[in-house]
């Protein structure tokens, strides 16, 4: 029953986010701060992981198509498809659930422990809107982060394929251009917008409704990471079935 209760509280929280909004003059600064904390501070890890995963995908693909009848341009093709369809939107989001999700839960949870949220309520501020809405708006820029991840993933595949001797630059680029379907990019960014909303709200929920002290803040961060990852994986399956099935 706890799960059903928490699901209900989560959706009630979502409704509360859009009720009694904070003044725009205050909200604007909050949104800019969240963009800096959640998006720009995550650029480094997204670029680093995407580049090397793209390289690994290219190498593994090349090593598994050693048949001379299979064209070498498939290395570029497989790298592009893997990065755009799955790695960039889904696995990057799971990584971000650890980085961004834990940050959101711990920051809101610390405010709960130190009674800052209670102080906001006493002042007549809708604390859920004040704390969660800026994160939702900031993560609307999340597809920008994913597009950078796509670029560096493919670049990493090109570097590994060409400099590792698995493919020529012309063959790799031919694979990138072969049978390109713009709908796959639409599919990837549709997933990204959904995952961005999940990344903003589930960690916020666990931080806002936690009880206890500093130890419980750490436990709430771990729990939010687990549940955010689970929801992302389930929604990935559902959206793939709906959009590609």
Q: What is the mean pLDDT of residues 58-85?
A: 85
- Tell me the pLDDT tens digit for each residue of 173-183: 998 888 888 99
Contacts of residue 214, defined as CB under 8 A and 6 or more positions apart, other chains included, come to 113
pLDDT at 132: 92
Binning pLDDT at 50, 70 and 90, where does residue 165 land?
Answer: confident
The Cα–Cα gap between 96 and 43 comes to 11
Give 70 or 37, the one with higher predicted confidence.
37
Contact 180, 73 (CB under 8 A): no
Total residues belonging to the chain:
245
- Tell me the pLDDT tens digit for each residue of 61-70: 888 877 777 7
pLDDT at 69: 73
Binning pLDDT at 50, 70 and 90, where does residue 133 land?
Answer: very high
Average pLDDT, the chain: 90
pLDDT at 6: 84
* Axis crossing angle, helix 92-113 with helix 182-208, rounded to the nearest 10: 20
The Cα–Cα gap between 58 and 28 comes to 43
Question: Is residue 1 predicted with pLDDT exceeding 70?
Answer: no
Q: pTM for this structure?
A: 0.91
Task: Parse the chain into domains and list their residue ranges.
Answer: 23-244
The Cα–Cα gap between 192 and 142 comes to 7
Give 245 or 211, the one with higher predicted confidence.
211
- Tell me the pLDDT tens digit for each residue of 97-121: 999 999 999 999 998 888 888 888 8
Between the alpha carbon of residue 76 and those of residues 2, 49, 82, 84, 159, the distances in Å are 47, 18, 10, 12, 11
| H or E, element range at 188 | helix 182-208
First to last CA, the chain: 33
- Tell me the pLDDT tens digit for each residue of 6-35: 888 899 999 988 888 888 888 999 999 999
Across 212-229, b (16+ Cβ under 10 Å) vs e yields: eeeeebeebbebbbebbb
Q: Which of 105, 130, 131, 127 is nearest to 118 (CA)?
A: 127
pLDDT at 167: 84
Give 242 or 68, the one with higher predicted confidence.
242
Question: Is residue 238 predicted with pLDDT exceeding 90?
Answer: yes
| H or E, element range at 105 | helix 92-113
Considering only the C-alpha atoms of the chain, give the largest distance between any 2 of them, rounded to a whole number of Å: 73
């Amino acid at each position: 029953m706890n799960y059903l209760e928490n699901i209900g509280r989560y959706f009630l929280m979502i409704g509360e986010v859009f009720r009694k909004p904070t003044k725009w003059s205050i909200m604007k600064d909050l949104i800019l701060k969240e963009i800096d904390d959640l998006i720009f501070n995550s650029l480094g890890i997204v670029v680093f992981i995407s580049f090397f995963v793209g390289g690994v995908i290219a190498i593994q693909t090349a090593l598994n198509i050693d048949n001379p009848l299979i064209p070498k341009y498939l290395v570029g093709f497989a790298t592009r498809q893997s990065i755009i369809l799955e790695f960039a939107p889904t696995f990057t989001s799971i990584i971000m659930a650890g980085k961004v999700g834990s940050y959101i839960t711990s920051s809101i949870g610390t405010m709960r422990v130190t009674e800052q949220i209670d102080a906001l309520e006493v002042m007549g501020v809708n604390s859920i809107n004040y704390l969660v809405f800026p994160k939702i708006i900031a993560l609307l820029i999340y597809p920008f982060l994913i597009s950078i991840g796509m670029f560096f993933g493919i670049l990493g595949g090109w570097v590994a394929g060409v400099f590792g001797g698995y493919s020529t630059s012309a063959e790799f680029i031919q694979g990138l251009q072969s049978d390109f379907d713009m709908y796959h990019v639409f599919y990837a960014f549709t997933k990204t917008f959904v995952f961005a909303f999940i990344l903003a709200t589930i960690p916020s929920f666990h931080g806002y409704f936690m009880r206890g002290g500093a130890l419980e803040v750490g436990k709430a961060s771990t729990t939010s990471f687990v549940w955010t990852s689970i929801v992302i994986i389930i929604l990935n399956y559902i959206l793939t079935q709906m959009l590609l099935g």
